[in-house]
Amino acid sequence: MPSETNELNQSFSRLNTADSADGEVGPRTEEEYAAEQLTLRAIVSSKEAGVIIGKAGKNVADLREETGVRAGVSKVVPGVHDRVLTVTGSLVGISKAYKMVAKGLLEGVPQMGMGGVINANGSHAVRLLISHNQMGTIIGRQGLKIKQIQDASGVRMVAQKEMLPQSTERIVELQGTPDGIEKAVWDIGKCLVDDAERGYGTVLYNPAVRVQASGPIGNGGGNGGGIPPRTPYNRTGHGADFSDNSPSYSRHRNSGGEGLPRPPPPTHTEDGEEIQTQNISIPSDMVGCIIGRGGTKISEIRKSSGARISIAKAPHDESGERMFTITGTAASNEKALYLLYENLEAEKMRRQQNPQE
C-alpha cells in the first residue's frame, strides 16, 4: 500500500498547487507542509552506513522510533563504496531524521577513521540525492532560493552540476551543524513538495560496479559484479530502494521469467570499453510514446545514444509495466536513459495539456 499512499499524496499535492495558482486556495501552511509525505535519499559511504545503522541495527531503529519515518540503507555491493540511505515519511519526520543522521555521523567520526571527515566549520557533510528536474526549484532564479536556505539554516550547500551515472539524480551536499541540516532539509523538502510534478519519472541512482564484470549475466558471477542493476522508472518520484523484495524495484537476474528479454553476456568494444546491460520498467500506457509512429522515436534514441534497446512484448509482472533492456557502453546507456526520460516527460506534459485525448 505505500506506493498507493504516495500516489494519493502526490495527487493532493498537484491539486493544491493548481488551486493555489488559480487563486482559489492559498499556499500551504507550515502544519500542512509538516504532514506532507515524501522520500528523501542520500549517498553515504560504507563506513557512514555502519554508523547510521549501529550495532545490531540499534541506531536506525532509534531513528525510526523517534521520528516515525521508514529508513534503511541499501545493501553492500562488492567493490562499491557508496550506499544509499532512504528516508520516507512526513516532512517534519524526515527533517528530524536527517538531524539525527548528521549528529550520529559527527559523533561517529572517530570510529570511521579516515572514512569520517569533519569540515572546517565542525560539521560532517550530508549528501542528498535530488532529481535533476527539481534542482531549479531548490536553486531558484539567479540562485536566490538556495541562498535563502543557506542564510536561514547556516548550512553551506553545494549542488553538483552533473547527474550521477545512469540516473537523473544529482547530489546536493549540506555542510553544517545537525540543527542547521534539519532546517535546510525542511526548506528543501518544502521545495520538493511544491514541485512534486517535476519529480515524475526520476531515474534513481543505484550504486553498482560499472567498470569490470566478473562473469556472464545469470551465472552468479562470483561476487555479483557481472549482474547489472535495474534502474527503476519511478512514476511518483518517491521510490525507495531498501526493499529488495519490492516488485517495482527488485533486481532482475535473467532467471528466465516470462516476458523478460534475455540480455547477452557482457562483451567489450574495440576500444576495450565494457558493454553493459540495464533494465528499466515503463508503464504499458506510456510505451507507445517511446516507440513513436512506425518506431521512429525509439530509432532516434538508439541512433543518438548508440545503445541497443529491446522491448518486452508483454508486461513482466502484475504492475502492468513493460521491460526495456538497454545494452551499450556506460556513456551510451546513460544517454539512452536520459532520452527515454525526456520522452516520458514530454508525453506527460502533453497529456496534462490535452486531458480529453
Query: Looking at the DSSP assignment, which residues form a beta bridge with residue 131?
Result: 169
d(CA 156, CA 176): 6
Most confidently predicted of 82-96, 261-275, 299-313: 82-96
- In this prediction, residue 149 carries a pLDDT of 96
Q: How many residues does the chain have?
A: 357
CATH number of the domain within which 74 lies: 3.30.310.210
What are the tens digits of pLDDT across the range 212-235? 333 333 333 333 333 333 333 333
Say yes or no: 148 and 226 in one domain. Answer: no
Structural domain of 334: 221-353
Beta strand spans in the chain (E):
37-45, 70-73, 82-90, 126-131, 156-159, 169-175, 202-203, 233-234, 276-283, 308-311, 321-328
d(CA 202, CA 196): 11
For the chain, the domain total comes to 2
Q: Which three cell numbers stand for residue 273?
A: 570499453
Q: Are 336 and 305 in contact (CB under 8 A)?
A: yes
Say yes or no: 36 and 170 in one domain. Answer: yes
Say yes or no: 232 and 304 in one domain. Answer: yes
Say yes or no: 184 and 311 in one domain. Answer: no
The verdict on residue 97 lying in a domain is: yes
Say yes or no: 164 and 310 in one domain. Answer: no
Farthest-apart Cα atoms in the chain, separation: 61
The verdict on residue 346 lying in a domain is: yes
- In this prediction, residue 206 carries a pLDDT of 85
What are the tens digits of pLDDT across the range 6-22? 444 444 344 444 444 44
Instruction: Specify the pTM.
Output: 0.57
Question: Cα angle at 288 between 282 and 290, to 5 degrees?
Answer: 65
Interstrand relation of 276-283 and 321-328 (parallel, antiparallel or unpaired) = antiparallel
Phi-psi region of 222 (alpha: psi -120 to 50; beta: other; left: phi over 0): left
Mean pLDDT for all residues in the chain: 75
d(CA 169, CA 171): 7
